[in-house]
């Protein structure tokens, strides 16, 4: 009888793992015993777990996936992806350690080295390590990857194992390392792994921590009472860390070794954006910048350049078209690369944004790897993209708005395609409003001040129809400063008059009048008769809002005469519309009917749909004052349809208020109430809930509802 130990050969030439006995005739009473070889001990290779916060959703999702695959008799495969430092390995370990009672055959761990200086580990090398961990002697490990993978699957087919494949580079690197049988495997990677989906993989993506969870992590890291004693400072600190667990741990660790230091000190250290990444480092150990560098170094060169240039984007998020403008070329595939590398966050509808710390890293890389000239050119292309597209929206929404010149850089100028509809154009302007404002704030310092006032000018239709008052004011303040810097008088006057109209809407009537008068003086001194005539309308509006109706009527009358003489019939029609409003305020409905009717005809002929609808509202109100209810309903309904179609919420609310009064006259209180409530919602939507008009509507609605209750 011969006894073979693990790794011997049988008579048929096969390899035998574990003890084997070869014998001739065997009789009872024979007992064979052997000490277990070292390789027969179950491997327990997982690193220790660390404290995590606010990952219950992800852990529950992983456990549900395991339960489902177990019921189906399949192995469990999951991938945890996310930005470097977001806690992928920590989450994987927190879950896998809980599974030890159900997986008695061991835990395997392999660092796949996607971010290592020498490059990702070869699958053959890794599977060799896994085989040795399972007890295969080195001399028995096959040389070829296919043979190693086959042996690995054979050895794991009847074992219940937990496997963590940490820091993977690609799905192809992972596949040979997947065990067979009823094992659980988790892959972590900075890259998304859609390729593993075909292998039944369940993907979990980790976002940075919410503020409260990050504060909890900071409290645990410090281990003292400073967070409880300084809660506001703690929140400010984790917000500067943008919820990245690595950043929070580093900031906490730096404070932990200085127990007398207040959290405020670290907040101050992180406030300066240029030094923030440098402050989030522990010498010779963890380092946020180094962590992001590893992801950056893995990018293909063209994707790395797009990453750098997108760091120059001044706004909070950007479209694929804006990315193409930055790059001066097609960026769609490269955006996918950056997204898969978890360096961009998908904001939906082909829009992306940076995690705050990643944005700082991209800016730093742009400063390191792009020349000053290249950075300036990229920023100008981004600004020109927004200017050109906003100008296109202006042309669609308000073709009567007198578009002034537009100055562009060397190009190429990339324009977004949002369709040909006015509402689509307004929606684009509203969606991009934070980016448009960011460009306006940046333009003067960046060396292209003309973009500042020209972009404010292009945004006029958005401000007029959807208000955004504070943005209206800020944009024109910046634009006015830029026009003065350039000594561009026409631009300065445009900024004054457009800003003044915004001030009127905001109730700053004296301030608006002063702006209009400054513009009038400038036009007069330069001999611009048309520009001066236009200010007559504006000054009349200011006097009207100030309650000085006779002075307002005088300015409007002059404007109605002089503007057509100067070649602007449309503006003359607007003056007639303003005269109709004054007549209504004075209780002169017949005069209001005549002026509103003339204004409606002129504005319709000029193709000014928006202001023609406003004139229809005024005409409806005049008919209502004269108890001509059918005519009033016809005009008001026409106005309402048009104003709703272009999402002119403020003017829509005014038309609804008049229709509500009409419904009251006709004894239809339920319909009147519906109109009043919708009008109030729209006044609120444009920030006019406390205006005189809104207060009057609210009073009428309360009276109506009170009467119904009685």
- Residue 26: predicted pLDDT: 47
How is the beta sheet containing 351-353 ordered, strand by strand?
A: 318-319, 351-353, 345-346
Give the DSSP per-residue string, 535-593: HHHHHHHHHHHTT-HHHHHHHHHHHHHHHHHTT-HHHHHHHHHHHHHHHHHTT-HHHHH
- Residue 708: predicted pLDDT: 61
d(CA 419, CA 230): 52
Query: Which residues in the chain come in under a pLDDT of 50?
Result: 1-39
pLDDT in tens, 413-439: 999 999 888 889 999 999 999 999 999
Domains 291-370 and 395-648 share a fold: no
Q: Which architecture, in CATH terms, is 291-370? A: Orthogonal Bundle (1.10)
Task: Show Cβ contacts of residue 695 under 8 Å, excluding neighbours closer than 6 positions.
Answer: none
Q: Are 441 and 402 in contact (CB under 8 A)?
A: no
- Flag whether the pTM goes above 0.95: no
- Residue 35: predicted pLDDT: 37
Which runs of E-coded beta strand occur in 15-106? Answer: 20-22, 76-82
d(CA 285, CA 329): 39
- Residue 19: predicted pLDDT: 43
| Residue 261 CA, distance from chain mean position | 36
d(CA 689, CA 683): 5
User: Residue with structure tokens 């000239």?
Assistant: 373
Residue range 395-648, CATH number: 1.25.40.10
Residue range 56-206, CATH number: 3.40.50.300
- Residue 389: predicted pLDDT: 98
Over the range 666-681, which residues count as b (16 or more CB within 10 Å of their CB) and which as e?
eeeeeebbebbbbbbe
The residue ranges of every structural domain in the chain are 1-41, 56-206, 211-286, 291-370, 395-648, 649-710
- Residue 647: predicted pLDDT: 83
């Amino acid at each position: 009888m011969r006894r073979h130990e693990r790794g011997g050969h049988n008579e048929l030439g096969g390899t035998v793992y574990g003890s084997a006995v070869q014998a001739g005739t065997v009789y009872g009473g024979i007992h064979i015993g052997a000490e277990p070889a070292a390789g027969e001990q179950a491997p327990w290779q997982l690193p220790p777990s660390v404290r995590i916060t606010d990952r219950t959703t992800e852990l529950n999702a992983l456990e549900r996936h395991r339960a489902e695959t177990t019921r189906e008799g399949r192995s469990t495969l999951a991938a945890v992806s996310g930005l470097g430092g977001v806690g992928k390995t920590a989450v994987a370990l927190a879950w896998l350690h809980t599974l030890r009672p159900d997986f008695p055959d061991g835990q395997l761990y392999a660092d796949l080295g996607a971010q290592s200086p020498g490059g990702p580990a070869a699958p053959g090398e890794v599977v060799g390590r896994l085989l040795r961990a399972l007890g295969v002697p080195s001399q028995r490990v096959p040389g070829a990857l296919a043979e190693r993978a086959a042996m690995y699957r054979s050895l794991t087919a009847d074992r219940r194992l937990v496997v963590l494949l940490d820091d993977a580079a690609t799905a192809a690197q992972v596949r040979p390392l997947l065990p067979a049988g009823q094992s659980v495997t988790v892959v972590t990677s900075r890259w998304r792994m859609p390729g593993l989906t075909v292998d039944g993989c369940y993907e979990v993506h980790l976002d940075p921590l919410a503020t409260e969870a990050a504060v909890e992590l900071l409290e645990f890291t410090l281990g003292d009472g400073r967070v409880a004693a300084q809660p506001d400072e703690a929140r400010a600190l984790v917000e500067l860390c943008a919820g990245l667990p690595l950043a929070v741990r580093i900031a906490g660790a730096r404070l932990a070794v200085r127990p007398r230091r207040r959290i405020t000190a670290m907040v101050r250290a992180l406030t300066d954006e240029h030094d923030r990444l440098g402050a989030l480092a522990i010498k010779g150990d963890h380092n946020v910048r180094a962590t992001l560098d590893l992801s950056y170094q893995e990018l293909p060169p063209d994707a790395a350049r797009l990453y750098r240039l997108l760091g120059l984007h001044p706004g909070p998020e950007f479209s694929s078209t804006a990315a193409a403008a930055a790059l001066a070329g097609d960026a769609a595939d490269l955006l996918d690369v950056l997204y898969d590398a978890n360096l961009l966050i998908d904001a939906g509808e082909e829009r992306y944004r940076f995690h705050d710390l990643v944005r700082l890293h991209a800016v730093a890389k742009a400063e390191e790897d792009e020349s000053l000239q290249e950075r300036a050119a990229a920023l100008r292309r981004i600004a020109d993209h927004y200017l050109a597209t906003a100008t296109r929206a202006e042309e669609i929404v308000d073709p009567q708005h007198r578009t002034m010149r537009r100055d562009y850089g060397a190009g190429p100028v990339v324009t977004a395609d949002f369709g040909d509809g006015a509402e689509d154009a307004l929606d684009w302007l509203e969606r991009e409003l934070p980016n448009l404002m960011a460009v306006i704030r940046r333009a003067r310092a960046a060396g292209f001040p003309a973009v500042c006032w020209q972009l404010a000018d292009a945004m006029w239709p958005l401000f007029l129809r959807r208000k955004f008052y504070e943005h209206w004011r800020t944009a024109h303040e910046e634009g006015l400063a830029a026009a003065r810097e350039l000594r561009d008088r026409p631009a300065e006057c445009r900024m004054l008059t457009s800003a003044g109209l915004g001030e009127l809407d905001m109730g700053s009537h004296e301030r608006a009048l002063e702006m209009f008068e400054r513009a009038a003086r400038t036009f007069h001194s330069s001999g611009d008769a048309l520009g001066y005539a236009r200010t007559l309308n504006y000054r009349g509006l200011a006097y009207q809002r100030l309650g000085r109706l006779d002075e307002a009527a005088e300015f409007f009358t002059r404007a109605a005469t002089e503007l057509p003489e100067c070649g602007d019939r449309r503006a003359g029609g607007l003056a007639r519309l303003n005269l109709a409003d004054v007549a209504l305020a004075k209780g002169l409905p017949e005069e209001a009917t005549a002026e509103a009717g003339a204004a409606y005809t002129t504005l319709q002929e000029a193709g000014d749909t928006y202001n023609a609808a406003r004139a229809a509202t005024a005409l409806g109100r005049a008919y209502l004052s004269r108890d001509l209810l059918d005519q009033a309903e016809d005009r008001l309904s026409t106005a309402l349809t048009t104003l709703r179609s272009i999402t002119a919420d403020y003017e829509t609310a005014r038309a609804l208020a008049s229709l509500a009064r009409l419904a009251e006259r006709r004894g239809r209180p339920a319909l009147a109430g519906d109109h009043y409530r919708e009008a109030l919602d729209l006044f609120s939507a444009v920030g006019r809930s406390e205006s005189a008009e809104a207060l009057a509507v609210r009073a009428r609605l309360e009276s109506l509802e009170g009467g119904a209750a009685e």
